[in-house]
Chain A
Amino acid sequence: MADTAFPATLATGAMRLLPSPLLGAGAALLLRRMGRVHPALFRDLAALPPTTLRIAPTDLPHRFLLHIGGGPPRLRIDRDGDTPADSCVKGRLESLVALLEGRLDSDTAFFSRAITVTGDTAAVVGLRNTLERDGLEVMAEATALLGPLAGPARRTARRLETVSLRIRAALAEAHAALHRTPPAAPAAEAAELTGLRNEVRRLASRLARLEGKRRHEREEPAA
């Protein structure tokens, strides 16, 4: 794991504990720094039609409101959780950050249900394509706010993330043992099963189509 890789488990745990005002202030600070480091990207964001997006990490108690277009982007915590927004992007924090950094293709995330987009799709597509033009690194930018402590902070975060992942894996193992979860199917069998399921779905769809056609022919015989 690189020092600037986003420590998803650690960040999710820490952000769950942070009070909203503190998290909001930190997010706004991070956004301002990104604006200084990526001026061209922020110019492009400012040129987009004005819109408000709700960012809803499904594994956090917090909801964010991102205002873009017509000026510098602004990010704040939506304390009520129901402030009107033009669109909403939902997903785990890890997926949302991976999208922001361009490590995850948004269409792939959408196909696989890792994210859900509702509301003004054009605004979300415009934001996605604009972000794709540059390379943001959330961990690098966030720790850079600490000045000379950035390096030690990154190393500490990396170690804590490694420990967090080990603890999570151990807990999952213990949970599986306690509940006597049957062993997972080997990857090849799981892939075959998925393939068979898809094939059945395709065949069922084709059958419905053929039946519809036959019924149609019965109802409207050729003259």
Chain B
Amino acid sequence: MRAPKYLELVCPAGTPAALRAAVDAGADTVYCGFRDATNARNYPGLNFDREEMRAGIAYAHARGRRVLVAVNTFPRAGETGLWHQAVDTAADCGADAVILADLGVLDYAARRHPTLRRHLSVQAAAANPLAIDFYRERFGISRVVLPRVLAVGEVAALVAQLKVEAEVFAFGSLGTMVEGRCYLSSYMTGRSPSSDGVCAPAECVAYQEDGDGLRACLGTAMMNRFGPDEPRSYPTPCKGRFVTHGSPSYLFEEPIGLNASAILPDLKAAGVTALKIEGRQRGRAYVTEVVSAFRAILDALAEGRPPPRAAARLHALNEGGQETLSAYRSGWR
């Protein structure tokens, strides 16, 4: 396998074409999931069947890159078969690691496939040394994907106490709630991000033109109304604009995306091993553009050159057309 330069670049793929695009654009590692509820991006037409996964892994391996398979949702009691099957299939297809969150699925993978690397998904929301060490001791995880709630200094303090690798988010949509524990969307739609793999499922989303504006609805509730000149965003409840005391405002979080490209040296100094790009639900044009930009920056940093300003144009790809350093700068609010 190709040794990552500076930091390992872990990139999303929702389709076989996106996987090839990520590899061709310079990803060190690609993560993807199966076409069912076992992963947190279970949208219509997205993801891989067994043969597509096998072919995708072969394509990446032939070019010295790794593939991680996300099986990172939480099975309901008594319905673990699909999740076990997903872990077995990932191992059979030659995945380099599985990304897991549920204790039972972690236990199954550790017992059934002890040589298959296990990464702890962000869905497990493990953000302190005690929790992460528990997963390492009991289930032998090799890496933790840290929740998007830590300032860079907190990442450094945490990583210094860990005996596993740390992966952090570098670009894409932000989860404003405790990851894997958010019930807002499931309360409104009856389908859960944590068990069904969908936040704001497409069948519950409706956009309606309203004069010059656009209404965005989730189920029977309007989440936002965009004016003619306003950038738009997903109608997720955590980024809805609600009227309280007569004034509309984003009560929980603005529609905005993460871009940590300006602080990669800080993240490396904090002991981070890998950078994750969010966006398995996005198209291959997004994958190509974001991965290429981060590849150029990482290569420059590895060679001691000033990083190119390639990431300056990335803000338009983010939700609401805006970007932030989020908790990295100021910690969790």
List the interface of chain A (C-beta within 8 A of B).
44, 48, 102-108, 110-113, 116-119, 121-122, 124-130, 132-135, 198, 202, 205-206, 208-209, 211-212, 215-216
User: Which applies to chain B's interface (DSSP): helix, strand, loop or mixed?
Assistant: mixed
List the interface of chain B (C-beta within 8 A of A).
14-18, 43-46, 201-203, 205-209, 214, 231-233, 244-245, 247-251, 254, 281-286, 289, 316-322
> Which of A105, A124, A127, A208 meets B285, CB within 8 Å?
A105
Contacts of A211 in B (CB 8 A): 245, 247
> Which of B15, B203, B207, B245 meets A132, CB within 8 Å?
B15
Give A128 to B322 CA distance when docked, in angstroms. 24
Tell me whether A128 and B17 are in contact (CB under 8 A): no
Tell me whether B316 and A112 are in contact (CB under 8 A): yes
> Which of A107, A110, A116, A127 meets B281, CB within 8 Å?
A107
Contacts of B286 in A (CB 8 A): 105, 107-108
Contacts of B318 in A (CB 8 A): 111
Contacts of A102 in B (CB 8 A): 17, 283-285
Give A8 to B289 CA distance when docked, in angstroms. 22
Name the residue in A108, A117, A127, A215 with the highest tally of chain B Cβ atoms < 10 Å from its Cβ. Answer: A108
Give A113 to B311 CA distance when docked, in angstroms. 21
What is the minimal beta-carbon distance from A157 to any residue of chain B, in angstroms?
23
Closest B residue, CB atoms, query A133? B15
Contacts of B43 in A (CB 8 A): 125, 129
Tell me whether B245 and A216 are in contact (CB under 8 A): yes
Tell me whether A111 and B321 are in contact (CB under 8 A): yes
Give A206 to B254 CA distance when docked, in angstroms. 9
Give A132 to B15 CA distance when docked, in angstroms. 7
Contacts of B254 in A (CB 8 A): 202, 205
Contacts of B282 in A (CB 8 A): 105, 107-108
Give A106 to B250 CA distance when docked, in angstroms. 24
User: A105-B317, A216-B245 known; 16 other A-B pairs, CB under 8 Å?
Assistant: A44-B45, A102-B283, A105-B282, A107-B281, A108-B317, A111-B231, A112-B316, A124-B202, A125-B202, A129-B14, A129-B44, A129-B46, A132-B45, A208-B249, A209-B249, A209-B250
* Given A112-B231, A129-B15, A132-B18: A105 touches B250 (CB 8 Å cut-off): no
Tell me whether B16 and A122 are in contact (CB under 8 A): no
What is the minimal beta-carbon distance from B180 to any residue of chain A, in angstroms?
23
* Given A125-B44, A130-B45: A117 touches B207 (CB 8 Å cut-off): yes
Closest B residue, CB atoms, query A121? B205
Tell me whether A205 and B250 are in contact (CB under 8 A): yes
Tell me whether A110 and B232 are in contact (CB under 8 A): yes
Give A125 to B286 CA distance when docked, in angstroms. 16
Give A96 to B268 CA distance when docked, in angstroms. 40
Tell me whether A209 and B321 are in contact (CB under 8 A): no
What is the minimal beta-carbon distance from B7 to any residue of chain A, in angstroms?
24
What is the minimal beta-carbon distance from B13 to any residue of chain A, in angstroms?
10
Tell me whether B206 and A121 are in contact (CB under 8 A): yes
Contacts of A44 in B (CB 8 A): 45
Tell me whether A133 and B17 are in contact (CB under 8 A): yes
Give A116 to B214 CA distance when docked, in angstroms. 9
> Which of B247, B248, B251, B283 meets A106, CB within 8 Å?
B283
Give A113 to B212 CA distance when docked, in angstroms. 12
Name the residue in A48, A103, A212 with the highest tally of chain B Cβ atoms < 10 Å from its Cβ. Answer: A212
Give A119 to B209 CA distance when docked, in angstroms. 10
Name the residue in A107, A113, A206, A215 with the highest tally of chain B Cβ atoms < 10 Å from its Cβ. Answer: A107
Tell me whether B233 and A122 are in contact (CB under 8 A): no
Give A134 to B45 CA distance when docked, in angstroms. 12
Name the residue in A116, A121, A198, A206 with the highest tally of chain B Cβ atoms < 10 Å from its Cβ. Answer: A121
Tell me whether A198 and B322 are in contact (CB under 8 A): yes
Give A102 to B281 CA distance when docked, in angstroms. 13
Closest B residue, CB atoms, query A90? B209
> Which of B16, B233, B284 meets A111, CB within 8 Å?
B233
Contacts of A127 in B (CB 8 A): 45
What is the minimal beta-carbon distance from B50 to any residue of chain A, in angstroms?
15
Give A183 to B44 CA distance when docked, in angstroms. 46
Complex A-B: 26 CB contacts under 8 Å: A102-B17, A102-B283, A102-B285, A105-B282, A105-B286, A105-B317, A108-B282, A108-B286, A111-B231, A111-B232, A111-B319, A112-B231, A113-B232, A117-B207, A118-B206, A121-B207, A122-B203, A122-B205, A125-B43, A125-B45, A129-B14, A129-B46, A130-B45, A132-B18, A132-B283, A216-B245
What is the minimal beta-carbon distance from B327 to any residue of chain A, in angstroms?
16
What is the minimal beta-carbon distance from B106 to any residue of chain A, in angstroms?
29
Contacts of A111 in B (CB 8 A): 231-233, 316, 318-321
Give A212 to B242 CA distance when docked, in angstroms. 11
Contacts of B317 in A (CB 8 A): 105, 108
Contacts of B207 in A (CB 8 A): 116-118, 121
Closest A residue, CB atoms, query B248? A208
